[in-house]
Chains A and B, each alone.
Chain A
Amino acid sequence: MSEGGLQCPLPLRQYPNVLLAHGGGGQLSRDLLHHLFLPQFENPLLAPLHDGAVVEIEGRSLAFSTDSYVVSPLFFPGGDIGRLAVNGTVNDLAMCGAKPLYLSCGFILEEGLKMEDLQRVILSCGEAAKEAEVLLVTGDTKVVEKGKGDSLFLNTSGIGLVERPLLPKMVKPGDAIIVSGTIGDHGIAIMSVREGLEFESEMKSDTASLYPLVAKLLDSCQQLHCLRDPTRGGIASALNEIAGAAGVGMVLEETAIPVRPEVQGACEILGLDPLYVANEGKLVAFVAKEESDKALEALRSHPLGKDAAVIGEVATGQEARSCPTGTVVMHTAVGGERIVEMMSGEQLPRIC
C-alpha cells in the first residue's frame, strides 16, 4: 500500500477496484478526489474545487477547465456526445464567470467505429462550437483496438477570460438560490434511450451553452456570488458541494423546484429522484436576496432561462439550528422537512 506514496488507505482498503460509482459524481467520487487525487496534486489554484481553475497571467484572469465524455449511446434525443463535450467545457468555464474562448478536443476512437458516426460527431462539435462562439484551436486523435474502448470517448479542455470572479466561498447567508429551468431533463433522456424505455412524449437532453445566461446575469446583478452547472449527481450534489465549500446551510422549497411532468413521471417509474438526475443545460445561481428579482428577469429574458425559479435560500442565523453548516434541508410539499443528501453511489432503479 505504501507504493506510490499513498497516505490514505481508506478508499483502497474498502474498494480494491474502481467501481462505476466512483465516477458518479456523488460521495464515492468525492472520496476518490479527496483521498487519492488531492493529496498528490494539492495547490492553491486547485483548492477551490470549482468547475474550472482561475489562473492569473500578466494581470488577466483566465479560467481553465477540462472534462471527458464517455456517454452511451453516442446519439440521443436533443444532442450527442460531440455537442455535449463542447457545451460541457464551455459551461464549466462560464460557471467561473468567464467568457469561453478556445477549446481543445481529444478523440479516442475504437477500431471499427463507423466513419459515418465519427463524421456526425465532428459536425456536431463544429456546430456547437459555432453556436457557443468558441474556437476549437487544437486537438488529438488516438485509435485503440476493438474491445479496448466503447466506440468513442471525447475530451475537451478550454480557456476563457474571467469577467468577474465567482466562487463557492463567496456565497453568503440570505442569498437566493435560483435554478435556470426544469431539472433532470438530460439524465432522463439518456436513460430512456439506454434502457429502451418508451414514453408518450419524447424526452430531450437539455444540452446547451449556458454562457448567454451567464452574460445576462453578470450584466444585471452586481451581487451574483456563485454559479454551478448541476451535471452528474444533479442539483442535490451541486448544492451539497457548495454548502460544504462555502460553510453554509441551505433551505429549499420542494414546490418551487421546476420539474417537467414527463421527467417526474419517468422518475416515479424508475424510482429516481429528479434532484439527483443529471442536467447539461441548467445552472444554479447564488444571488443576494435583493437582486433575486433582477436575476430572474435576466434569466427569463432568454429562451434557455424561461422556466427560471427561486428554489430556496442560503440559511441565515435564525435557521442555523435546524440547518447546520454543510447541510441542505428541504421544506416538503406537505409541510414537513427533510435533508437532501449528497448522492451516494449510482442512482439505481428500484425493484418494486
Chain B
Amino acid sequence: MKYLDEYRDGDKVKAQLKALQERLTRPWQVMEVCGGQTHNFLKSGLDGLLPEGITLVHGPGCPVCVTPIELIDKAIALARQPQVIFCSFGDMLRVPGSKEDLLSAKSQGAEVRMVYSPLDALKIAEANPEHKVVFFAIGFETTAPMNAMAALQAKQRGVNNFYLLAANMLVPPAIAAILSARDCQVKGFLAPGHVCTVSGYVEYEEIAKQWWVPIVVTGFEPLDLIQGLYMLITQLETGSWKVENQYRRSATRQGNLAAKALMEQVFSVCDRKWRGLGPIPASGYCLKPEYADLDAEKVFQIEDITAEEPKECIAGLVLQGRKKPTECAAFGKKCTPQHPLGAPMVSSEGACAAYYQYGIKLRTS
C-alpha cells in the first residue's frame, strides 16, 4: 500500500540499522516521547534489532495514560447522572478510575457512547435535545483542534446541551519536566511527529537550547523510527543539540497555523495534573471564560472530586522513562490488559500494553 509499504521495507530498515551500528561508539539512553512510537518499535520487532548500545526509554506521550485518575472518576460521575450521554474515544473506556472504569459504568446502565470525533458527540447532542451530552476532551495537541472546533460549532449553532470535560495536555512542558529531574539519564528525544504536525517545533528548539539536548521530530513507521534514531545518535556522537525534522512529509517548523489559531480562540494554557508525573505548570488547555458554559466541570459541579493513584502501579516511573514495564512487580501478574492497575496497561499507546501484547512471553522465556 502506497505511503505505508515503502516505510516498512525490510531491506531499507536493515541498511539503516547497519548505518546506525557504524555510527555508534558508546552507549546512549534516548527517549521516544510518543506512545504510538513505542508501540511501533515493539509491533515491528525493531526494538529487538537495535544495536546493544542504544537504550530506548518510553516517554509520557500516551494521552490516555497521563489523564489523571480523578478525571476518570469525574467522567464516571458525569456518566452516571440521569439525562447525561457521556461520549468518549474508545481508548478511554477501559482505563481504571479509583473504583471502576467507564465500560463497567456502562454495563450498569450509564449512557456511555464511543465516538471517533468530538463532532460526532456534537451531532448526538443535536439529535437528543432532551439530554445533556458531555464529551471527554482528552489528548495532546493532536486532538485539541478537534475539541476546539466542537466547542466553536456548538456556540455557532446554538447547541446548548453540549459540554466538554476538558483535559487536553501539552507535550513540551512534560519533556521539560522529565529533563528537570536531577538524575535524568535521557540524552536525546524522538519528538512526536503527529503532535508537531499540529504545533510545529519552535517550542522544542527552546528545550534543545536550554538543556543542550538533541531532539528529532520523528514519524511512526519502522523506517521513520530507525532514521530518526540514526539522526539522533549522529547528533549525540558529534556533540550537537538542535531540533531536526525526520517527519518532513507531515510536520513543519510552524505547524498547522489554522489549527493553532482555532485552539487559541477556544483554549487558554493552564496548569494540569498528569497521571504519574504530578502537577506541571502551564501544561494543558482549559476552556476560555467565554466558553465557561460548555465546561462540564463547572456546569455539573464535579470540581471537588479527588482520587489517588494505586500505590502498586509504577505508571509514573514508566511514563518518565525511569522504569521499564517489565521492572514492575505487578507486570503480567497482577496487572494485565484484562485486569489493569494503571492506564499504560490499557491504552493502545501505553508502554505496558505494548510490552504485554508484543513481547512479554519472548522476554520472560
Contact = CB atoms under 8 A, between A and B. Distances in A.
Contacts of A336: 44-49
Given A334-B49, A338-B45, A351-B90, A18 B107 contact: yes
Contact of B10 (A31, A265, A333, A350): A333
B364 to A, nearest CB: 9
A19 B91 CA distance: 15
A327 interface: yes
Residue in A21, A330, A344 whose Cβ sees the most chain B Cβ within 10 Å:
A344
B338 A348 contact: no
Interface string A328-350: 01111111111101001100111
A349 B365 contact: no
Contacts of A20: 103, 107
Contact of B361 (A27, A31, A324): A324
Question: Could you tell me the dominant secondary structure of chain A's interface residues?
Answer: loop
B45 A344 contact: no
Interface stretch (B136-144, B151-159, B293-301): B136-144
Contacts of B104: 15-17, 19
Interface residues of B, number: 51
A351 B89 contact: yes
Given A17-B107, A338-B43, A345-B338, A352 B362 contact: no
A334 B360 contact: no
Contacts of B1: 261, 264-265
Contacts of A19: 103-104, 107
Interface string B83-96: 00000011111100
A332 B358 CA distance: 11
Contacts of A268: 4
A140 interface: no
Interface string B1-21: 100100011100110000000
B64 A351 contact: yes
Given A19-B107, A322-B362, A349 B116 contact: yes
B116 A321 contact: no
Nearest to B93: A348
Interface residues of A, number: 41
A67 B132 CA distance: 39
B64 A334 contact: no
Contact of A271 (B46, B348, B360): B348
Contact of B91 (A31, A337, A341, A350): A350
A28 interface: yes
B337 interface: yes
B139 A339 contact: no
B348 A348 contact: yes
Nearest to A338: B358
B8 A349 contact: no
B316 interface: no
Nearest to A348: B90
Contacts of B222: 333-334
Contacts of B43: 332, 338
A14 interface: yes
B114 interface: yes
A16 B108 CA distance: 9
Residue in B46, B90, B108 whose Cβ sees the most chain A Cβ within 10 Å:
B90
Q: Which 9 A-B pairs have the closest CB atoms?
A: A336-B45, A348-B90, A17-B107, A351-B89, A332-B45, A344-B337, A352-B142, A338-B358, A334-B13
Given A20-B107, A264-B1, A334-B46, 12 more contacts: A31-B338, A264-B4, A331-B45, A332-B46, A334-B222, A335-B45, A341-B358, A345-B337, A348-B90, A349-B89, A349-B90, A352-B139
22 contacts: A16-B104, A261-B1, A321-B365, A324-B361, A327-B361, A329-B362, A334-B222, A335-B10, A336-B45, A337-B48, A337-B362, A338-B45, A338-B358, A338-B359, A339-B362, A344-B336, A345-B337, A345-B338, A348-B93, A348-B94, A352-B36, A352-B143
